[in-house]
Amino acid sequence: MERIRIWQYNPIMKILNSRTLIRTVLIALSVMLLFSACASLSRAAEDDALEVIYLINEGKVEQLTSMTAETFLLDAEILQGAGTAKLFWSGLAEAGFKLNNPVIIDKNQPSAAEKAVLGNSIEVDTFFTKYVTTDSMYFRIASDSGEIALIIGPDDTGELKITAFGGPF
């Protein structure tokens, strides 16, 4: 005599007992985890962008220098070394540059459009190829002083660093 299984006659029970449900739940959880990781990286980069604005306005050269990547794109020029970054941030502070009433008007992963904002040159192409990753975030920030472009991305240790700065435009 053949045993009758309850799920053979109840479609809901059939779904609940299937391997398909388990696979579906695992896939859904994986996708949710992936999106939450992307959102947290984006949020962390946005927090860093707001911190950069604050530090520029306060003239905090040492903190800006420590947040700047070893290889840094300034407008269309590649700069190397913490000393060069410090020289740039010091010059900005000494000139009294401030981002009054800043507003983040654009935030996304860097693409060809953002590359064009920072310059159309072999140096910019090389920089984007070598140093801008898919984990980097591009910010365009408007203020009373004009607009700046800022790219923040992870360094080799995963720490978020300022990798590019352009403007004011």
* Averaged pLDDT, groups of 10, the chain, 169 residues long: 56 57 59 50 70 93 94 92 93 93 91 87 92 91 92 88 88
Supply the pLDDT for residue 41.
47
CATH code for the part of the protein at 42-166: 3.10.450.50
- Which pLDDT score, from 0 to 100, does residue 40 have? 47
State residue 49's pLDDT score: 86
pLDDT at 167: 86
> What global pTM score does this model have?
0.72
* H runs (alpha helix) in the chain: 11-16, 19-58, 61-67, 82-94, 112-118, 122-131
- Cα distance between residue 149 and residue 168, in whole Å: 8
For residue 7, the tally of other CB atoms under 10 A from its CB is 14
Q: What local confidence, expressed as pLDDT, does residue 92 receive? A: 92
